[in-house]
A and B are shown apart, each in its own frame.
Chain A
Amino acid sequence: GIQVEQSPPDLILQEGANSTLRCNFSDSVNNLQWFHQNPWGQLINLFYIPSGTKQNGRLSATTVATERYSLLYISSSQTTDSGVYFCAVRAVDTGRRALTFGSGTRLQVQP
Protein backbone atom coordinates (compact mmCIF):
# COMPACT_ATOMS: atom_id res chain seq x y z
CA GLY A 1 0.00 0.00 0.00
CA ILE A 2 0.89 3.66 -0.12
CA GLN A 3 3.60 4.87 2.25
CA VAL A 4 3.38 8.26 3.99
CA GLU A 5 6.40 9.76 5.71
CA GLN A 6 6.34 12.91 7.79
CA SER A 7 9.25 14.98 8.97
CA PRO A 8 10.46 16.06 11.38
CA PRO A 9 8.98 13.66 13.94
CA ASP A 10 9.40 16.19 16.73
CA LEU A 11 9.76 19.94 16.72
CA ILE A 12 10.20 22.46 19.52
CA LEU A 13 9.71 26.14 18.74
CA GLN A 14 9.72 29.39 20.60
CA GLU A 15 6.52 31.36 20.34
CA GLY A 16 6.61 33.58 17.27
CA ALA A 17 8.85 31.31 15.20
CA ASN A 18 7.96 29.88 11.80
CA SER A 19 8.12 26.22 10.79
CA THR A 20 7.69 23.91 7.83
CA LEU A 21 6.37 20.36 8.13
CA ARG A 22 6.84 17.91 5.27
CA CYS A 23 4.82 14.94 4.02
CA ASN A 24 6.18 12.56 1.38
CA PHE A 25 4.00 9.88 -0.20
CA SER A 26 4.89 6.96 -2.41
CA ASP A 27 2.07 6.91 -5.01
CA SER A 28 -0.33 9.21 -6.81
CA VAL A 29 -3.10 10.53 -4.60
CA ASN A 30 -6.54 12.02 -5.11
CA ASN A 31 -6.98 13.19 -1.54
CA LEU A 32 -4.49 14.75 0.85
CA GLN A 33 -5.52 16.28 4.12
CA TRP A 34 -3.61 17.93 6.95
CA PHE A 35 -4.94 17.61 10.49
CA HIS A 36 -4.02 18.99 13.90
CA GLN A 37 -4.70 16.63 16.79
CA ASN A 38 -5.26 18.61 19.94
CA PRO A 39 -4.38 17.38 23.46
CA TRP A 40 -7.89 15.91 23.86
CA GLY A 41 -7.46 13.78 20.76
CA GLN A 42 -9.75 15.69 18.41
CA LEU A 43 -8.55 15.84 14.83
CA ILE A 44 -9.07 19.30 13.41
CA ASN A 45 -9.22 19.64 9.62
CA LEU A 46 -6.61 22.13 8.46
CA PHE A 47 -6.48 21.65 4.70
CA TYR A 48 -7.95 19.46 2.00
CA ILE A 49 -5.20 19.88 -0.60
CA PRO A 50 -4.60 17.10 -3.15
CA SER A 51 -2.75 19.69 -5.23
CA GLY A 52 -1.92 23.39 -5.28
CA THR A 53 -1.57 25.95 -2.52
CA LYS A 54 -4.01 27.15 0.13
CA GLN A 55 -3.77 29.61 2.99
CA ASN A 56 -5.82 30.02 6.12
CA GLY A 57 -4.59 32.71 8.48
CA ARG A 58 -1.15 31.83 9.82
CA LEU A 59 -1.24 28.43 8.15
CA SER A 60 -0.62 27.57 4.54
CA ALA A 61 -0.06 24.36 2.62
CA THR A 62 1.35 23.36 -0.72
CA THR A 63 1.06 20.01 -2.44
CA VAL A 64 3.22 19.17 -5.45
CA ALA A 65 1.43 16.07 -6.61
CA THR A 66 3.85 15.30 -9.46
CA GLU A 67 6.73 15.16 -6.98
CA ARG A 68 4.67 13.42 -4.29
CA TYR A 69 5.08 15.76 -1.37
CA SER A 70 3.17 18.33 0.62
CA LEU A 71 4.34 21.07 2.96
CA LEU A 72 2.53 22.71 5.85
CA TYR A 73 3.76 26.15 6.90
CA ILE A 74 3.06 27.60 10.32
CA SER A 75 3.98 31.25 10.77
CA SER A 76 4.21 33.24 14.00
CA SER A 77 3.58 30.11 16.05
CA GLN A 78 1.52 30.29 19.24
CA THR A 79 1.37 27.95 22.22
CA THR A 80 -2.08 26.84 21.06
CA ASP A 81 -0.44 25.41 17.92
CA SER A 82 1.09 22.65 20.06
CA GLY A 83 -0.04 19.12 19.32
CA VAL A 84 0.45 16.52 16.63
CA TYR A 85 0.13 17.34 12.95
CA PHE A 86 -0.89 14.50 10.65
CA CYS A 87 -0.81 14.24 6.90
CA ALA A 88 -3.20 11.67 5.42
CA VAL A 89 -3.64 10.58 1.83
CA ARG A 90 -5.79 8.41 -0.38
CA ALA A 91 -4.09 6.63 -3.26
CA VAL A 92 -5.56 6.86 -6.75
CA ASP A 93 -5.20 3.32 -7.98
CA THR A 94 -6.40 1.17 -5.11
CA GLY A 95 -10.12 1.91 -5.05
CA ARG A 96 -9.72 2.26 -1.31
CA ARG A 97 -11.61 5.22 0.13
CA ALA A 98 -9.95 5.38 3.53
CA LEU A 99 -7.09 7.73 4.35
CA THR A 100 -3.62 6.44 5.15
CA PHE A 101 -1.95 8.44 7.87
CA GLY A 102 1.67 9.42 8.33
CA SER A 103 3.28 8.99 11.71
CA GLY A 104 2.81 12.67 12.54
CA THR A 105 4.94 15.62 13.64
CA ARG A 106 4.74 16.41 17.34
CA LEU A 107 5.02 20.17 17.77
CA GLN A 108 5.67 21.93 21.04
CA VAL A 109 5.55 25.72 21.09
CA GLN A 110 7.15 27.23 24.16
CA PRO A 111 6.22 30.67 25.51
Chain B
Amino acid sequence: GAVVSQHPSWVICKSGTSVKIECRSLDFQATTMFWYRQFPKQSLMLMATSNEGSKATYEQGVEKDKFLINHASLTLSTLTVTSAHPEDSSFYICSAESSSYEQYFGPGTRLTVT
Protein backbone atom coordinates (compact mmCIF):
# COMPACT_ATOMS: atom_id res chain seq x y z
CA GLY B 1 0.00 0.00 0.00
CA ALA B 2 0.91 3.66 -0.26
CA VAL B 3 3.29 4.97 2.38
CA VAL B 4 3.66 8.48 3.73
CA SER B 5 6.52 9.39 6.04
CA GLN B 6 7.02 12.33 8.36
CA HIS B 7 10.15 13.67 9.94
CA PRO B 8 10.82 14.23 12.74
CA SER B 9 8.45 12.01 14.70
CA TRP B 10 8.85 14.23 17.74
CA VAL B 11 10.59 17.51 18.48
CA ILE B 12 11.10 19.73 21.50
CA CYS B 13 12.01 23.35 20.87
CA LYS B 14 12.31 26.56 22.82
CA SER B 15 9.75 29.32 22.56
CA GLY B 16 10.59 31.73 19.73
CA THR B 17 12.43 29.24 17.54
CA SER B 18 11.22 27.72 14.27
CA VAL B 19 10.63 24.06 13.49
CA LYS B 20 10.36 22.38 10.07
CA ILE B 21 8.36 19.19 9.57
CA GLU B 22 8.74 17.14 6.38
CA CYS B 23 6.07 14.99 4.77
CA ARG B 24 7.00 12.59 1.97
CA SER B 25 4.98 10.24 -0.18
CA LEU B 26 7.40 7.32 -0.60
CA ASP B 27 5.90 5.23 -3.39
CA PHE B 28 3.50 7.53 -5.19
CA GLN B 29 3.29 11.09 -6.43
CA ALA B 30 0.95 13.48 -4.71
CA THR B 31 -0.18 16.68 -6.35
CA THR B 32 -2.09 17.51 -3.22
CA MET B 33 -1.06 17.06 0.39
CA PHE B 34 -2.80 18.16 3.55
CA TRP B 35 -1.71 19.26 7.01
CA TYR B 36 -3.84 18.50 10.07
CA ARG B 37 -3.48 19.25 13.73
CA GLN B 38 -4.78 17.08 16.56
CA PHE B 39 -5.10 17.97 20.22
CA PRO B 40 -5.30 15.23 22.88
CA LYS B 41 -8.49 13.19 22.72
CA GLN B 42 -9.83 15.30 19.87
CA SER B 43 -10.36 14.76 16.17
CA LEU B 44 -8.16 15.96 13.34
CA MET B 45 -8.59 19.57 12.23
CA LEU B 46 -7.45 20.63 8.77
CA MET B 47 -4.89 23.42 8.77
CA ALA B 48 -4.12 23.78 5.08
CA THR B 49 -4.16 22.18 1.66
CA SER B 50 -0.81 22.07 -0.08
CA ASN B 51 -0.65 21.97 -3.89
CA GLU B 52 2.57 21.19 -5.73
CA GLY B 53 4.01 24.27 -7.33
CA SER B 54 1.48 26.72 -5.96
CA LYS B 55 0.55 28.48 -2.75
CA ALA B 56 -1.14 26.59 0.03
CA THR B 57 -4.75 27.18 0.91
CA TYR B 58 -5.21 27.82 4.61
CA GLU B 59 -8.29 27.17 6.70
CA GLN B 60 -10.00 30.05 8.43
CA GLY B 61 -8.22 30.97 11.61
CA VAL B 62 -4.86 29.44 10.65
CA GLU B 63 -2.10 32.05 10.41
CA LYS B 64 -0.30 31.56 7.12
CA ASP B 65 2.70 33.62 8.27
CA LYS B 66 3.10 31.39 11.29
CA PHE B 67 2.58 28.04 9.58
CA LEU B 68 4.61 28.19 6.36
CA ILE B 69 3.88 25.44 3.86
CA ASN B 70 6.02 24.57 0.86
CA HIS B 71 5.18 21.82 -1.67
CA ALA B 72 8.17 21.96 -3.97
CA SER B 73 7.90 18.50 -5.50
CA LEU B 74 5.33 15.77 -6.10
CA THR B 75 6.65 13.80 -3.13
CA LEU B 76 7.54 16.43 -0.53
CA SER B 77 5.64 19.02 1.46
CA THR B 78 7.05 20.89 4.45
CA LEU B 79 5.39 22.72 7.33
CA THR B 80 7.46 25.28 9.21
CA VAL B 81 6.16 26.55 12.52
CA THR B 82 7.75 29.97 12.90
CA SER B 83 8.40 31.67 16.23
CA ALA B 84 6.82 28.75 18.06
CA HIS B 85 5.02 29.30 21.35
CA PRO B 86 3.76 26.80 23.93
CA GLU B 87 0.23 27.00 22.50
CA ASP B 88 1.61 25.59 19.22
CA SER B 89 2.42 22.34 21.00
CA SER B 90 0.35 19.67 19.31
CA PHE B 91 0.37 16.57 17.12
CA TYR B 92 0.79 17.51 13.46
CA ILE B 93 -0.22 14.98 10.80
CA CYS B 94 0.15 15.19 7.05
CA SER B 95 -1.67 13.25 4.36
CA ALA B 96 -1.21 12.75 0.63
CA GLU B 97 -3.85 12.09 -1.96
CA SER B 98 -3.17 9.24 -4.37
CA SER B 99 -4.24 9.12 -8.02
CA SER B 100 -7.28 7.07 -6.94
CA TYR B 101 -8.30 9.92 -4.55
CA GLU B 102 -7.69 7.83 -1.43
CA GLN B 103 -5.75 9.70 1.24
CA TYR B 104 -2.85 8.21 3.16
CA PHE B 105 -1.55 9.65 6.40
CA GLY B 106 1.90 10.07 7.83
CA PRO B 107 2.74 8.84 11.34
CA GLY B 108 2.56 12.35 12.79
CA THR B 109 4.97 14.72 14.50
CA ARG B 110 4.59 15.54 18.17
CA LEU B 111 5.75 19.11 18.80
CA THR B 112 6.45 20.39 22.30
CA VAL B 113 7.39 24.05 22.75
CA THR B 114 8.96 24.93 26.09
A89 and B33 CA atoms in complex are apart in Å by 16
Q: Quick check: is B93 within 8 A (CB to CB) of the other chain?
A: yes
**Which residues on the A side are within 8 Å of B108 (C-beta)?**
41-42
CB contact between A45 and one of B43, B44, B46, B104 (< 8 Å): that residue:
B104
- Chain B interface: which size bin? 20 to 34
Q: Is the CB of A41 within 8 A of B43?
A: no
Contact with A along B21-32 (1 / 0, CB 8 A): 000000000001
Complex interface bits, B72-114 against A, C-beta within 8 A gives 1, otherwise 0: 0000000000000000000101010100111111011010000
What's the Cα separation between A42 and B9 when bound, in Å?
Answer: 11
- Interface size class, chain A: 20 to 34
Instruction: Give a binary string over A73-111; 1 marks a CB under 8 Å from any B CB, 0 the rest.
Output: 000000000000010100000001111111110000000
Asked if B105 and A42 make an inter-chain contact with CB atoms under 8 angstroms apart, the answer reads yes
User: Interface readout for A4-46 with B: 1 if CB under 8 Å, 0 if not?
Assistant: 0000000000000000000000000011010100001111010
> Which residue from B1, B42, B49, B104 sits with its C-beta under 8 Å from A98?
B49
Complex Cα distance, B107 from A88, in Å, reads 17
Determine if B34 is an interface residue (Cβ-Cβ < 8 Å): yes
Contacts of B104 in A (CB 8 A): 45
Mask of B6-47 contacts with A, CB within 8 angstroms, 1/0: 000000000000000000000000001010001000111110
Give bound CA distance, A3 to B24, whole Å: 30
Could you tell me if A41 and B1 are in contact, using CB atoms closer than 8 angstroms?
no
Nearest Cβ distance between residue B97 and chain A, in whole angstroms?
Answer: 7
Q: List residues of chain A with CB within 8 A of the CB of B91.
A: 41
